[in-house]
Amino acid sequence: MAKIPDQFQDILAGFSRDYQQVFGKDLISLMLYGSAAYGYFIKGKSDINVLVVLTPEGIDRLEDGFPLVEKWRKRNVALPLVMTKNFIASSLDSYPIEFLNMKSRSALIYGENVLEPLPIRTEDVRLQIERELHSKILLLREGYLESAGSARHLRNLIQKSFSACIAIFNAMLYLKKGEAPRDKRDTIREMNRVFTIDANVFMLCMEVRQGTDRLSGKEVKDLFKQYMREVEKLFHIIDVLEPTN
């Protein structure tokens, strides 16, 4: 579990006080997750993501949190993800990748660490990876046809779809090794080492996602086609992958 970065200590302390005051004993946990929890927060672009875990009684009076949402969104805290412990437990088989990533890249703000003890089943992870890759292949193909060759359209499609790739990479490495690097670049390099994907393609896609690339229109078009091929390659890899953890 990560430690709350210094730059978010003050804002999350205030956030925590407000939620404790409003929900009291019905507030079980506040967990920081996402880019703010593992060093990829971009000021002006990223949000601060928080998981709020309440008792069923707290969920029944969720409207008490209306003023808190309005107040903290002004300080870049995204609309919180609100759950009960029972809801989390019943969702693990449907969303194992999301919970796996939250579990490995989160920081406790207040209360109980509800993510650390979660049992993530490898077969559930594998099935979701297959579903996600299948959907992504179809999305990229449809987007490519819809673009009519527009580099701007393809750039936007890379930007919108790339973040999910990192989550899938982490899940694949979890199946193969039981863990994944915290740094996105290290994750891509490890995928290259373990599964022989083309790391250069995904490194360039990450630069496009972050808006730091200097690719020409033609280079963006070429990159997109390589991106589609690599995603299809991932689908074939996961189809025969035997978990080792």
List pLDDT tens digits, range 5-42: 788 899 999 999 999 999 999 999 999 998 887 766 66
- What's the pLDDT at 42? 66
Residue 51: beta bridge partners? 31, 81
135-160 tens-digit pLDDT: 999 999 999 999 999 999 999 999 99
pLDDT interval class at 165 (50, 70, 90): very high
Rounded to an integer, the average pLDDT of 48-72 is 96
Q: Specify the domain boundaries for CATH 1.20.120 within the chain.
A: 122-240
pLDDT interval class at 183 (50, 70, 90): confident
- What's the pLDDT at 184? 87
- What's the pLDDT at 209? 92
- What's the pLDDT at 149? 93
For residue 195, how far is the Cα from the chain centroid? 21
The yes-or-no verdict on residue 239 having pLDDT over 90 is no
Mean pLDDT of the chain: 92
Q: What is the CATH number of domain 6-111?
A: 3.30.460.10
The yes-or-no verdict on residue 43 having pLDDT over 80 is no
pTM higher than 0.85: no
CATH class assigned to 122-240:
mainly alpha
- Say if residue 214 is exposed, middle or buried (CB neighbours under 10 Å; 0-12, 13-18, 19+): exposed
Angle at 124 between CA 160 and CA 233, to 5 degrees: 50
pLDDT interval class at 210 (50, 70, 90): confident
Q: Which two tokens stand for residue 74?
A: 């002004």
Q: To 10 degrees, the CA torsion angle through 9, 10, 16, 17? A: 150
Q: Specify the domain boundaries for CATH 3.30.460.10 within the chain.
A: 6-111
The yes-or-no verdict on residue 111 having pLDDT over 90 is yes
The yes-or-no verdict on residue 104 having pLDDT over 90 is no
Q: What phi and psi, each to the nearest 5 degrees, are found at residue 30?
A: -130, 125
- What's the pLDDT at 44? 66
The yes-or-no verdict on residue 58 having pLDDT over 90 is yes
Rounded to an integer, the average pLDDT of 203-209 is 95
Pairing of strands 106-111, 27-33: antiparallel
- What's the pLDDT at 109? 96
pLDDT interval class at 191 (50, 70, 90): very high
Rounded to an integer, the average pLDDT of 213-239 is 95
